[in-house]
Structure 1
Amino acid sequence: MPPKRAAASKRKAETPSEDEQEPLSPSDAQSSQEERTAKKRKTTASKTKTATGKAKRTAAKGASKAMAASSQSQSQNGAGTDDGPAQPTNKVLPTHISFPEKGEDAVRVAAWNICGLAAAQKKGFKYYVEAEDADILILTETKVNNPPADPELTNRYPYRYWAISDKKTYAGTGVLSKIEPLSVTYDLPGHPDKSAVKGRIVTLEFESCYVVGTYVTNAGTGLKTLDAKKEWNEHFEVYIRDLDTRKHVIWSGDLNVAPTALDLANPKTNWNKTPGYTEAETNSFARILNTKGEDADAGKFVDVWRQRHPDLRHYTYFSYRFNCREKGLGWRLDMFVVSERLGERVRMCEIRSEIYGASDHCPVVLELVGTF
């Protein structure tokens, strides 16, 4: 073992002591100090990076779990309750579509917010129109500037009525029919702002009923046009009640309201903050229904789909943003509301949930039996 100790002593002797080392110039000293400081920083940064990496990985795992739980919760919110299956999550309109044939004694009415006719035509609009073959087709948010000359519509529907807004490519409502109406109107009586009404309502009178197609005013981002929505609702309630005293009423289109907490995926976070789900809007809709007969002198109306599916959470609108369709985050804004006494003639009322992609809305359809 002594030789090893001698070798160690020799190596130690070969290494100059601090006193024997040549002095460093100021610049060299600064460089040396910077190197030492950089080395310390590098070591510290390495430790920090390691700790941060661990923290990020831990946070990522937690976020993944939270996201998975949130996604599962959201999917459950959009999927409906135990009385029905989840809605489809397709983002492109199917090209092969078929529906059960309607009965010989039935009239089929369909309504669809197409989010711009020109855009919808490029995404398979005609496939749905052909498959549904409704006797009356209500189209909302058409965004047309002139009556369209689409052969798919002109050949199928001899009676076509378009309410067109004064603003270019804005709003717009069309009601197309195989049955000739007795009369057609495009106004909302009593409303002081004719330009606000134009493009949003078409009323067809038939032998036994009125069909009212509407693209109801939106309360706007930040509820900035809620007052305009209140004004619309006030005059529309008077209008539909007046029609109901004369004949049965079928009201449909994009009504721009989620009537209850079941009619949107996230009711708590949207209540009184988001257009379509405010106290003013839901109360107005409830007054029109008059379900409990609060207004003894007024007739009652029925939200047909909700009456037939009292607990189901299915929607007609899914935003293109944030993967809402895939997550089941939607709103039920498109519906059929009919005079209560007409209810016994309703054979079917459904949301065409698979018809998505040509628009961010799904169509709704109603069948009635008897004289129209």
Structure 2
Amino acid sequence: MSQKRTASSSKRKAESDSNSDGVKPVESKNAKKAKVTVSDVAEDNGGGLAPNGQPTNKVLPVKISFPPRAEDTSRIVSWNICGLASSQKKGFKYYVEAEDPDILILTETKVNDEPADLALASRFPYRYWSISEKKTYSGTAILSKHKPLSVDKTLPGHPDPKSIKGRIVTLEFEGYYVVGTYVVNAGQGLKTLEAKKTWNHHFEAYIRDLDRKKPVMWAGDLNVAPTAIGTSTPAVVGLYLTSSDLSNPKTNWNKSAGYTEAETSAFARILNPPNCDAGKLVDVWRKLHPDDHHYTYFSYRFNCRAKGIGWRLDAFVLSERIVDRVKTCEIRSEIYGASDHCPIVLEIAPADVS
């Protein structure tokens, strides 16, 4: 990659100050908006770290490379790109080329039609886009090198099928289902929390039904921060947690979308169903990184990236019976700037469980 691409990125203005769907988390009133310069990028690429241990770069690195994947594994990536058109101007293709995933789950694509992107078409022969009826809003896609057995873009039983468009894509493969979601946001002032509860109710039933048939790999922007350091919420009664999925849990609890009792409890119930006949699911990144305070979303405002102030909204959730096949699950923390979210990547050995 050229330095020119990085320099041009320094001129852009913040395009999204939300954790999803235009919702702003509670942050300091005295915080100042970050400014991006070429010198910032040079310094950050040299190893600058925020207090939580994640890098502080505000545009993509000039050079992107990753370790080779584990032998005989599939590499699956989930990334909220905060608009495909915008992301493509900021280095989207460079990351995809370097990562070279077998399956790429994209959320918040904001496309109005299936993109005629020759580079994506040549890399991923099988592309499935769920497009919102509302223009330049929402949007979910799964791009794959492998042909699925079936494709579904619905959420069975949901009373408003139109609202689901742009939110979910399910691909069935021989060994498992891959479910990509851009989960409903509870909204500014929690005004759409009831819609989120409806989504959660029907999605839980849906993922349970899939899991009874074969293992499930659920990924995307889940729009929930499941845990907080040193708290015992209704979602995790009796547990004292040493990990955190957002920076300021106390000020955000039951005030900000993604961190309410209703949302965290619904997520906890998906992982550990009250019905003992249902299978458990596992938040894989958290299982492999039990003590890390790392995030996938950093607001463009308030210098959040440099301060390490963020939310872990993007995740892989797998049926418990295939978790031992996972070789790695990592947040690509340095891949920031093409979106206000970082990608998360999982490598898994062939799942021949049925």
Contact 2:322/2:351 (CA < 8 Å) preserved in 1? no
User: In structure 2, what is the Cα distance between the partners aligned to 1:312 and 1:118?
Assistant: 32
Q: Please list the CA deviations of residues 102-137 of structure 1 after superposition, one character each: whole Å capped at 9, or x if unmatched.
A: 134100000000000000000000110001100000
1:272 aligned partner, one-letter code: N
User: In structure 1, what is the Cα distance between the partners aligned to 2:299 and 2:266?
Assistant: 25
- Give the corresponding residue for 2:158: 191
Q: Is residue 298 of structure 1 aligned with residue 278 of structure 2?
A: yes
User: In structure 1, what is the Cα distance between the partners aligned to 2:137 and 2:215?
Assistant: 30
- Give the corresponding residue for 1:182: 149
1:112 aligned partner, one-letter code: W
After the TM superposition, which residues 234-245 of structure 1 pair with which residues of structure 2 at under 5 Å, given as runs?
234-245=201-212
Q: Is residue 363 of structure 1 aligned with residue 330 of structure 2?
A: no
- Give the corresponding residue for 1:342: 322
User: In structure 1, what is the Cα distance between the partners aligned to 2:51 and 2:118?
Assistant: 37
Q: Is residue 273 of structure 1 aligned with residue 240 of structure 2?
A: no
Residue from 165, 178, 184 that aligns with 1:211: 178
**TM-score, normalization by structure 1:** 0.77
Unaligned runs of 5+ in 1: 1-65, 68-77, 81-85
After the TM superposition, which residues 113-124 of structure 1 pair with which residues of structure 2 at under 5 Å, given as runs?
113-124=80-91
- Give the corresponding residue for 1:282: 264
Residue from 93, 100, 109 that aligns with 2:76: 109
Residue from 198, 201, 226 that aligns with 2:168: 201
Q: Please list the CA deviations of residues 13-60 of structure 1 after superposition, one character each: whole Å capped at 9, or x if unmatched.
A: xxxxxxxxxxxxxxxxxxxxxxxxxxxxxxxxxxxxxxxxxxxxxxxx
User: In structure 2, what is the Cα distance between the partners aligned to 1:112 and 1:203?
Assistant: 16
- Give the corresponding residue for 1:318: 298
Q: Secondary structure at the match of 2:213?
A: coil
User: In structure 1, what is the Cα distance between the partners aligned to 2:316 and 2:289?
Assistant: 13
Report the Cα offset of residue 95 of structure 1.
3.0
Contact 2:222/2:315 (CA < 8 Å) preserved in 1? yes
Q: Secondary structure at the match of 2:195?
A: helix
1:302 aligned partner, one-letter code: V
Q: Secondary structure at the match of 2:146?
A: coil
User: In structure 1, what is the Cα distance between the partners aligned to 2:212 and 2:161?
Assistant: 25
Q: Secondary structure at the match of 1:245?
A: helix
- Give the corresponding residue for 2:213: 246
2:170 aligned partner, one-letter code: T
Q: Secondary structure at the match of 1:227?
A: helix
1:304 aligned partner, one-letter code: V
Report the Cα offset of residue 371 of structure 1.
4.3
Count, aligned residues? 291
1:265 aligned partner, one-letter code: S
Q: Secondary structure at the match of 1:174?
A: strand
Residue from 143, 151, 161 that aligns with 2:128: 161
After the TM superposition, which residues 7-22 of structure 1 pair with which residues of structure 2 at under 5 Å, given as runs?
none
Report the Cα offset of residue 294 of structure 1.
3.3
After the TM superposition, which residues 51-130 of structure 1 pair with which residues of structure 2 at under 5 Å, given as runs?
79-80=51-52, 86-130=53-97
- Give the corresponding residue for 1:172: 139
Q: Secondary structure at the match of 1:358?
A: coil
Contact 1:209/1:248 (CA < 8 Å) preserved in 2? yes
**TM-score, normalization by structure 2:** 0.80
1:283 aligned partner, one-letter code: S
Q: Please list the CA deviations of residues 151-204 of structure 1 after superposition, one character each: whole Å capped at 9, or x if unmatched.
A: 221110000000000010000001000011000000000001011101100000
User: In structure 2, what is the Cα distance between the partners aligned to 1:325 and 1:267?
Assistant: 17
Which of the pair has the greater relative contact order for Cα pairs under 8 Å at 6+ separation? 2
Q: Is residue 220 of structure 1 aligned with residue 220 of structure 2?
A: no
User: In structure 2, what is the Cα distance between the partners aligned to 1:90 and 1:243?
Assistant: 39
Contact 1:79/1:313 (CA < 8 Å) preserved in 2? no
Unaligned runs of 5+ in 2: 1-29, 32-49, 229-243
1:218 aligned partner, one-letter code: N
Report the Cα offset of residue 298 of structure 1.
1.1
Q: Secondary structure at the match of 2:316?
A: strand
Contact 1:95/1:124 (CA < 8 Å) preserved in 2? no
1:367 aligned partner, one-letter code: E
Q: Secondary structure at the match of 2:255?
A: coil
Q: Which contiguous aligned blocks of 4+ residues in structure 1 show a shift greater than 3 angstroms?
A: none
User: In structure 1, what is the Cα distance between the partners aligned to 2:154 and 2:51?
Assistant: 38
2:86 aligned partner, one-letter code: A
Rg larger for = 1
Percent identity between the two aligned chains? 71
Contact 1:212/1:251 (CA < 8 Å) preserved in 2? yes
User: In structure 1, what is the Cα distance between the partners aligned to 2:180 and 2:99?
Assistant: 18
User: In structure 1, what is the Cα distance between the partners aligned to 2:277 and 2:199?
Assistant: 22
- Give the corresponding residue for 1:133: 100
Which structure carries more helix by proportion?
Answer: 1
- Give the corresponding residue for 2:233: none
1:161 aligned partner, one-letter code: Y
- Give the corresponding residue for 2:234: none
